[in-house]
Structures are given as structure tokens and as C-alpha cells.
Amino acid sequence: MVQSPFPGMDPYLESPDLWPDVHARLMTIFAEQLSPLLSPNYIAELNTQVVIDQIVEEGPFNITAVLPDVVVTQPLDTRDPGMDGMWTASAQAVQTLTLAPPLILTAPVALPTRLVTLHIRRRPDTLVAVIELLSPVNKRPGPGRDEYLEKRMAYLNSHIHFIEIDLLRQWPRLPFGGDVPNTAYLAAIFPNGRRPYCQAWPIGVRDPLPTLPIPLLPPDPPVPLDMGQALRTAYARARYDLRIDYKTPLNPPLASEEAEWAAALLAK
């Protein structure tokens, strides 16, 4: 089976071009993993929502515009077609115009974004747990983040188990109480009945992805969600090895020590 060169989360999968596909595939594989473990009393179902993501380019454009400081115009053509094709000479001064280069600004672009959430229900129709895999619209400051924070608070004020997985290094981490280690990624389980406390798994770029114990209703024990196996399966199914150029720099870049480690890993 085709494998990523990274032992855990592949940071190249965070690319905006790939992440929507990665997100959808991971959530589908999560459901495939959990379904046989949940049967026959529980089911795992995918819930799709389309939100409008407002994207504003956060850095300078990678476009170089060359504008001349002086424009020289040609003499005005004053030929009169009613004079047998003769030209009427007219003295024209060569005009020059000095232009200041324009500013390059950005405007918000509204894009429909498909988000997939995993619901675990006890049959026939009791919602027990929700698994959210964060996307840029959830983390990037703006209306999308505000909307997700409201939904997150609704989960935390409900009687369901809430599981949140953050595999994106960019943008500020969502709020937690206490000291959260400054790691690249984070997975958290907020069990019903134990809030405001949660279980958190800080994940570094060098770390394998953990197996999360997904809680159910008592007396049923948790079921394991093997995030590492899910990512390996998604990588092989999608043939991300054919879609990623590992020679290109990462955006956002890794810290210096991690960058050296990644460079040595990819050199193999």
C-alpha cells in the first residue's frame, strides 16, 4: 500500500488544494472504521453541511505587475476621409503622462464549502456523539469561525459526547481552558457528564496519530477510532503520492528543527 513519508499527519495534506478531499475521505473512513464496532445498537452516519467561506488573501499576491512610469502617446491621426484620401497635417505634441503604481488589495471571496460531520446514534434515533474534523473555515478568523464557535458551545451545553480533531497548523487554535501544549495538532474528547473537563491528545509533526476512545452510552464501553490507520487508508486510496510535490516548500512552514527533520526524512 502506498504510504506517506511522514509517520503521522502529513503536513503537505494541509494544502488548500488537497484539504477538502482529505477531510471528506477521512470522515468517510472514520465511519467505515466505527460502523462494525458500533453494530447492532449504534450507527455512524455522515452529516453534510454547505457553508459560505469568506476567503481573503492573507499574504501578498505572487503576481508581479510591471507598469511604466511614463507613457508616450502617438500623434493623433487626423485623416479626413472626405478629402480624397489626403492627409491633413496637424501638429501634435507628444503627450507624456506620469502614472503612480496602483495599490494591490484583496477583496473577500465567498466560496461554498462542504463540511462533513460524523454523528453516532443509538438506534433508533438518539444522538450520542458528534465528531468534528476542523477545516480552515472553522479556524480562520471571521464569520466562519464565529459560527463554528457557536455550534461548538451548543455541543458543549448538550447531553452528547463531543470529539474535535484539529489537523491544521495554520490559524489560531480554538479556545481551551488550561495550558494547551503548543503542538502542531490536537485531538480532544469532551465526554458528557465530565464537562468542563476534556481529554486532549497533543500531536506533533513527528508523532503517530493516536487511537481515540469514542465514548458511548453506559454501560457500553468506548470504541476505538484509529486515526493513523484512517489517514494511511485515505492516502493510499487517493494516491496523494501522485498529487504532492514534496520538493515544494510547506505553507505554513515548519519550525526550524522540524523542518530539518522533515528534509532528512524526505531525502530518503
Q: Point out which residues pair with 127 in neighbouring strands.
A: 121
Query: Residue 59 has what pLDDT?
Result: 42
Q: What pLDDT shows up at residue 165?
A: 98
Q: Which pLDDT belongs to residue 76? A: 43
Cα 208 to Cα 232: distance, rounded to the nearest angstrom: 11
- 53/111 Cα distance (integer angstroms): 5
Percent of the chain with pLDDT over 90: 68
Q: Given a cut of 60, is residue 259 above it in pLDDT?
A: yes
Please give the backbone phi and psi of residue 70, each rounded to the nearest 5 degrees, phi first.
Answer: -130, 135
* Confidence (pTM): 0.79
Identify the weakest region by mean pLDDT among 70-84, 94-108, 135-149, 151-165.
70-84
Instruction: Spell out the SS3 assignment of 190-259.
Output: ECCCCCCCCEEEEECCCCCCCEEEECCCCCCCCEEEEHHHHHHHHHHHHCHHHCCCCCCCCCCCCCHHHH
Average pLDDT of the residues in 239-262: 94
pLDDT at 63 over 50: no
198-230 confidence digits (pLDDT tens): 999 999 999 999 999 999 999 999 999 999 999
- Of 43-57, 61-75, 225-239, 245-259, give the lowest mean pLDDT range: 61-75
Lowest mean pLDDT among 13-27, 85-99, 222-236: 85-99
Q: Which percentage of the chain shows pLDDT scores above 70?
A: 79
| Strand-pair partners of 186 | 166, 202
In this predicted model, what pLDDT tens digit does every residue of 187-198 receive, in sequence order?
999 999 898 999
Q: Quick one: cell of 53?
A: 467561506
Where exactly are the structural domains of the chain?
11-55+105-267
Q: Per-residue pLDDT for 24 more than 60?
A: yes
Model pLDDT, residue 260: 95
Cα–Cα dist 9/14, whole Å: 9
What digits encode the pLDDT tens for the residues 126-177?
A: 999 999 999 999 999 988 899 999 999 999 999 999 999 999 999 999 999 8
Task: Using the predicted structure, report yes or no on whether residue 95 has a pLDDT greater than 70.
Answer: no
How do beta strands 96-98 and 109-122 pair? unpaired
